[in-house]
Amino acid sequence: MSEATPGWSLVVHGGSGVIARADLKPEQDIAYRCALARAVEAGAEVLRGAGTALDAVEAAIRVLEDEPLFNAGRGAVFTADGRVELDAAIMNGATLAAGAVAGVTRTRNPISLARAVMDRSDHVLLAGAGAEAFAVAEGLEQVDPGYFFVERRWRALETELGRQGLTIPARPNGASGDQALAALAHDEGKRGTVGVVARDARGNVAAGTSTGGTTGKRWGRIGDSPLIGAGTYASNRSAAVSGTGEGEYFIRLGVAHAICALVELRGLSLQDAVDRVIQDQLSALGGEGGVIAVAPDGQMAWSFNTSGMYRARIAHDQAMTVAIYKDEP
C-alpha cells in the first residue's frame, strides 16, 4: 500500500442484480440516479468539512435507508411471513471497531443502530429482540410496520411466494399502497442492499452496509451484510469493502475480508483484488453480486457479475460518477 495522500473519496452502491437497460423505464433510471447522487452528496459534505470516513458512511447510508427505491430501511423487501427484518453493519478501518444488527423490525435507520452497537456496547453483533431493545434504550427512532410498506415490494413477495407455492400473508397494518412509489421501485430479482465506503482526509477508511435481505426469506435468515468479513469489512491496512448479492455465497467466501487479505498480504491493487474475488471466486461458486471498495491511499474500485449495480463515486479531485448498467464506466 502506498503512502496516504491528502484528500478524500467515497463510493456508494444501491444493490446489484437483474438491472438491465431494458428493465428500467426512463423515469426509474432518473429516480435511481438522483437518489444515489443525494446519498453521495450527504457523505461528501461530511468529508469536505473534514469529517471522518465513519460519519460520512453513516450519513450517506441514512439517506439510502430513507429512500423507498432501495432494499434497505424504508424500501426493504418482505420476509415470507410479510414482515421486514433489517440487517446492517458498520466498521472503522482505523481501529477495527465494528457494530452490526440483524433481524431488526422497527428501527428506522439500522445503520445508526449498528453504529450504536459499535460505539456504546461491548459487542459487535446484536440480533432480533435484543437489538430492538438496545435501539429503544439508545433512543433511536422506532417506526410502525406500515412505514416500511412499498407496494412494489409486496407484489414481488406475492410473485415469489406464488412461485414457491406458499400462502400469501396479510398485508402489514398501516400499509399505504402508494402508487407513485410502486411505479418507480424496481425489482432487481429478489435482492438489493445499500452500502458506502469512504476514505477521509486523514487516510482512514470505513465501510457500512444495510439491507432488507432477500424477498420471501424465511424469518430469522441473516445475510452477509451484518457479518463482519462477509458483506462488510474495513481496515486501514488494506481497504474498506461493502458487498451486495446472494448473501449465502458472500458468507461462505468471506468476500469483504478476502478482498482485504489480497490487498494486504498479496499486494494486489484494489481493482485486481475486487475482480479476483467477484469475477473469479464468486462466479466459480455460482454466486451473483458485487462490491465497492476504497483504499487508504485513495484508490476506488467496484466489481460485479450481474447485469447491473446501482453505484456512484466521488473524490476531492474527481466529479461525481453515477452508473447503473454493466456497460457504464
Q: By C-beta, is 92 or 193 nearer to ligand ASP?
A: 193
List all residues 6 or more positions away from 146 whose beta carbon is below 8 Å from its beta carbon.
172, 173, 174, 175, 176
C-alpha grid cell, residue 55:
460519519
The one among 224, 295, 303, 311 contacting ligand ASP by CB under 6 A: 224
Q: How far is the CB of 128 from ligand ASP (least distance, A)?
A: 16
The one among 79, 92, 204, 225 contacting ligand ASP by CB under 6 A: 225
By CB under 6 A, residue 238 contacts ligand ASP: no
By CB under 6 A, residue 214 contacts ligand ASP: yes
Q: How far is the CB of 207 from ligand ASP (least distance, A)?
A: 14
Would residue 229 be called left, alpha or beta, if left means φ above 0 and alpha means ψ between -120 and 50 degrees? left
Q: By C-beta, is 46 or 101 nearer to ligand ASP?
A: 101
Return the closest-CA partner of residue 212 out of 97, 71, 46.
71
Q: How far is the CB of 302 from ligand ASP (least distance, A)?
A: 14
The one among 14, 75, 103, 223 contacting ligand ASP by CB under 6 A: 223
List all residues 6 or more positions away from 35 whose beta carbon is below 8 Å from its beta carbon.
14, 63, 64, 67, 69, 70
Size of the site for ligand ASP (CB under 6 A): 14
Query: Which residue in this structure is represented by grid cell 466489481?
Result: 303
By CB under 6 A, residue 213 contacts ligand ASP: yes
* Residue positions annotated with a catalytic role: 193
Q: How far is the CB of 296 from ligand ASP (least distance, A)?
A: 25
C-alpha grid cell, residue 248:
449465502
Would residue 141 be called left, alpha or beta, if left means φ above 0 and alpha means ψ between -120 and 50 degrees? beta
What Rg do the C-alpha atoms of the chain give, in angstroms? 18
CA distances from 18 to 155, 216, 285, 289 (A): 17, 17, 19, 10
Q: How far is the CB of 8 from ligand ASP (least distance, A)?
A: 26
Burial of 148 (0-12, 13-18, 19+ CB in 10 A): buried
By CB under 6 A, residue 231 contacts ligand ASP: yes
- Binding segment for ligand ASP (CB under 6 A), chosen from 150-158, 178-186, 197-205, 207-215, is 207-215
Would residue 65 be called left, alpha or beta, if left means φ above 0 and alpha means ψ between -120 and 50 degrees? alpha
- Binding segment for ligand ASP (CB under 6 A), chosen from 148-156, 188-196, 268-276, 302-310, is 188-196
237: which DSSP letter? T
Q: By C-beta, is 47 or 324 nearer to ligand ASP?
A: 324
By CB under 6 A, residue 193 contacts ligand ASP: yes
Q: By C-beta, is 72 or 201 nearer to ligand ASP?
A: 72
Q: By C-beta, is 94 or 260 nearer to ligand ASP?
A: 260
Query: Cα separation of 60 and 212, whole Å?
Result: 17
C-alpha grid cell, residue 61:
447510508
The one among 73, 216, 247, 287 contacting ligand ASP by CB under 6 A: 247
Q: How far is the CB of 250 from ligand ASP (least distance, A)?
A: 6
Question: What residues make contact with ligand ASP under the rule CB under 6 A?
Answer: 15, 191-193, 211, 213-214, 223-225, 231, 244-245, 247
